[in-house]
């Protein structure tokens, strides 16, 4: 087996290019069939998210493994996958090549573990990527594209990700204002699934807030924006309803969570509107998170009973603490990953030894069977049993040590003394022996 990886992510390519190379679920079976039809590709897993597209491939190797793992061979594999990806999506291969990365051997498993642990994510330590990786592997397995080799690699990555989540604080603290806002909502409302959210604005921050809310099970989201088209467009991504800013008063009384992030120079939400909404809600608590600078929500709203208002300054300390905590946890996670890579490689080497031992035992059994048949024929001819046993023992000894003896003499003559030392180690022979 030879694991290789070709990919692009948020660090190497802009969103325009990432969109072009994404694989929608309905095309995954076709894509998997296409990549597996390439020469030497035996197994494949395609990971496709908003921030990355990665092809994990198991390549058949023949002959000398070191030669097959040569930089020249790996460059050929890289160009093959790059050309396939560019042809499949109709993108110039040169453009794609400048934004892609390629790994092989242990760097593949190391990268996979880092991705699964959230160390390679836009938001350090974000937990969603692990579920996305598991889903990608499950799809590949269902399509018959992922076998034992990639299966072992991905299972090891899942195991390491679990250890990192358990033993470090990589995912405990928020590191973005959007994530912090949703985390704050979880602290105030123990259960978010039954709540309604009103998001004001249609920029990147509000999109992230919507994504985090959806991931936590919130199903009823309204997005209000100055331009209705933009509100509807963003809402369509999450199954949310888009409205105008002028519709906010009507929507406010139904909203349990309000998050605002616009470029408005004047407040969009005042004390009076919130008081009226709370009266209609019979003073059911309302969380308001203002992520805008200048502020979208009048500070006086914070004086209202049952209205919990937080500005971006209020959650800044939470974010800074989260960044520091996750940075420290990332160092711990990296150490766990390195141990995981070493353990994975150790298991692979052990599997290689098992195959060699099986062949060695098979050869020895063949010699034993041949010598045993010769001994039986001698006994049938009436040859003395003592003589037959001695001949059997001598024949077994000579046949078993003949090939190693010839190879040791040859290696010694060529100056390859390490072969002789290895035999001494294998058979526990001292120098005197």
pLDDT given at position 62: 65
pLDDT given at position 65: 52
For residues 337 and 107, the answer to whether their CB atoms sit within 8 Å is no
In the three-class reduction of DSSP (H, G, I as helix; E, B as strand; rest coil), residue 243 is classed as strand
pLDDT (tens digit per residue) in 333-368: 999 999 999 999 988 887 767 777 888 889 999 999
pLDDT given at position 431: 57
pLDDT given at position 63: 53
pLDDT given at position 64: 46
pLDDT (tens digit per residue) in 235-269: 999 999 999 999 999 999 999 999 999 989 899 99
pTM: 0.63
pLDDT (tens digit per residue) in 193-237: 999 999 999 998 999 999 999 999 998 999 999 999 999 999 999
pLDDT (tens digit per residue) in 32-70: 999 999 999 999 999 998 789 999 999 987 654 544 568
Sort strands 41-48 and 52-59 into parallel, antiparallel or unpaired.
Answer: antiparallel
Q: Which two tokens stand for residue 108?
A: 């593949």
Phi, psi of 245 (to 5 degrees): -60, -30
Q: Catalytic site residues?
A: 50
Contacts of 84 (CB under 8 A, 6+ apart): 34, 35, 38
pLDDT given at position 1: 72
pLDDT given at position 68: 56
Q: Give the least confident one: 14-18, 169-173, 293-297.
A: 169-173
In the three-class reduction of DSSP (H, G, I as helix; E, B as strand; rest coil), residue 56 is classed as strand
- Whether 187 has a pLDDT exceeding 90, the answer reads no
Mean pLDDT across 76-105: 95
> DSSP letters of 288-337?
EEE--SS-SB-GGGGGSTTEEEEEHHHHHHHHHHHHHHHHHHHHHHHHHH
pLDDT given at position 57: 97
- Whether 299 has a pLDDT exceeding 50, the answer reads yes
How many angstroms from the chain centroid is the CA of residue 355? 29
- Whether 148 has a pLDDT exceeding 60, the answer reads yes
Query: Residue 323 and residue 329: Cα distance in Å, rounded?
Result: 10
pLDDT given at position 427: 85
Q: What is the mean pLDDT of the chain?
A: 90
CATH number, domain 2-170, options 3.40.50.300, 3.40.50.920, 3.90.1150.10, 3.30.460.30: 3.30.460.30
pLDDT (tens digit per residue) in 167-186: 998 877 667 788 888 988 98
Nearest to 373 by CA among 352, 396, 355: 396
Query: Residue 126 and residue 164: Cα distance in Å, rounded?
Result: 12
Mean pLDDT across 144-149: 94
pLDDT given at position 30: 96
Assigned CATH for 177-320: 3.40.50.720
Mean pLDDT across 310-323: 77
Helices 128-142 and 106-117: angle between axes, nearest 10 degrees: 130
Query: Residue 270 and residue 40: Cα distance in Å, rounded?
Result: 65
Domain extents in the chain? 2-170, 177-320, 351-426
Phi-psi region of 404 (alpha: psi -120 to 50; beta: other; left: phi over 0): alpha
Reported confidence tier of residue 420, pLDDT bands at 50, 70, 90: confident
- Whether 72 has a pLDDT exceeding 90, the answer reads no
Query: Residue 91 and residue 79: Cα distance in Å, rounded?
Result: 14
pLDDT given at position 421: 87
pLDDT given at position 331: 93
Reported confidence tier of residue 433, pLDDT bands at 50, 70, 90: very low
pLDDT given at position 243: 97
């Amino acid at each position: 087996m030879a694991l290789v990886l070709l990919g692009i992510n948020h660090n190497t390519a802009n969103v325009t290019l990432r969109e072009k190379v994404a694989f929608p679920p309905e095309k995954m079976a076709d894509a998997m069939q296409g990549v597996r039809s390439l020469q030497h590709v035996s197994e494949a897993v395609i990971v496709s998210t908003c921030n990355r597209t990665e092809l994990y491939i198991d390549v058949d190797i023949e002959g000398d493994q070191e030669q097959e793992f040569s930089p020249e061979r790996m460059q050929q594999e890289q160009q093959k996958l790059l050309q396939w990806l560019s042809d499949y999506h109709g993108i110039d291969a040169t453009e794609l090549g400048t934004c892609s990365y390629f790994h092989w051997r242990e760097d593949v498993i190391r990268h996979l573990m880092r991705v699964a642990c959230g160390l390679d994510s836009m938001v350090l330590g974000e937990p969603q990527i692990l579920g996305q990786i598991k889903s990608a592997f499950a799809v590949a397995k269902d399509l018959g594209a992922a076998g034992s080799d990639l299966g072992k690699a991905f299972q090891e990555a899942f195991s390491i990700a679990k250890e990192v989540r358990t033993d470090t604080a990589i995912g405990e603290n928020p590191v973005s204002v959007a994530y912090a806002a949703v985390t704050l909502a979880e602290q105030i409302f123990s259960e978010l699934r039954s709540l309604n959210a009103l998001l004001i604005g249609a920029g990147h921050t509000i999109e992230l807030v919507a994504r985090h809310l959806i991931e936590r099970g919130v199903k009823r989201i309204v997005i209000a924006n100055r331009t209705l088209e933009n509100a509807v467009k963003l809402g369509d991504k999450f199954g949310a309803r888009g409205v105008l800013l002028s519709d906010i008063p009507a929507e406010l009384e139904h909203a349990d969570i309000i998050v605002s992030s616009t470029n408005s120079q004047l407040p969009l939400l005042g004390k009076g509107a919130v008081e009226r909404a709370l009266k209609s809600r019979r003073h059911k608590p309302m969380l308001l998170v203002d992520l805008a600078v200048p502020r979208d929500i009048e500070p006086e709203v914070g004086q209202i009973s049952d209205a919990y208002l937080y500005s971006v300054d209020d959650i800044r300390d939470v974010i800074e603490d989260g960044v520091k905590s996750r940075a420290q946890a990332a160092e711990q996670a990296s150490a766990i990953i390195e141990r995981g890579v070493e353990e994975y490689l150790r298991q692979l080497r052990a599997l290689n030894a098992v195959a060699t031992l099986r062949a060695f035992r098979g050869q020895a059994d063949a010699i034993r069977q041949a010598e045993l048949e010769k001994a039986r024929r001698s006994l049938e001819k009436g040859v003395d049993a003592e003589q037959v046993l001695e001949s059997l023992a001598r024949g077994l000894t000579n046949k078993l040590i003949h090939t190693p003896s010839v190879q040791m003499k040859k290696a010694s003559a060529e100056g390859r003394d390490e072969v002789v030392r290895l035999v001494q180690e294998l058979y526990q022979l001292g120098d005197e022996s």
